[in-house]
Amino acid sequence: MNIAEFIQVLPKAELHLHLEGAAPWAMVRARSDDTLPDAPIWWDDDFKFDDFLQFTEAIALCYRHILTSSKAYQQVARAVFQRLAAQNVRYVEISFAIGWAVIQDLCVNDVAAAIKRAAPSGLTVCVIGGISRERPDWLTDDLKEAVLSAPDLDGIDLHGDETLGGPAPFVDIFARARQAGLLTKAHAGELAGPQSIKDTLELLGVNRIEHGTTAM
Outline where DSSP puts E strands in the chain.
12-18, 89-97, 124-132, 155-159, 183-188, 208-211
Question: What pTM, to 2 d.p., does this model score?
Answer: 0.93
Tell me the backbone φ, ψ of residue 177, rounded to 5 degrees.
-65, -40
Annotated catalytic residues are 190
From the list 38, 39, 32, 36, the residue with the least C-alpha distance to 65 is 32
From the list 134, 114, 3, the residue with the least C-alpha distance to 56 is 134
Pairing relation of β-strands 183-188 and 155-159? Answer: parallel
Mean pLDDT by 10 residues, the chain (216 residues): 92 98 92 84 92 92 93 98 97 98 97 98 98 93 97 97 93 98 97 95 97 90
pLDDT value of residue 216: 80
CA–CA separation, 159 and 154 (whole Å)? 16
CA–CA separation, 63 and 79 (whole Å)? 14
For residue 138, the 8-state DSSP code is G
Buried b (16+ CB within 10 A) or exposed e, 53-78: eeeeeebebbbbbbbbebebbbbbbe
pLDDT value of residue 165: 87
CATH assignment of 12-22+71-211, given 3.30.465.10, 3.40.50.620, 3.20.20.140, 3.30.70.260? 3.20.20.140
Give domain limits for the chain: 12-22+71-211
If you compute the radius of gyration of the chain from its CA atoms, what whole number of angstroms results?
18
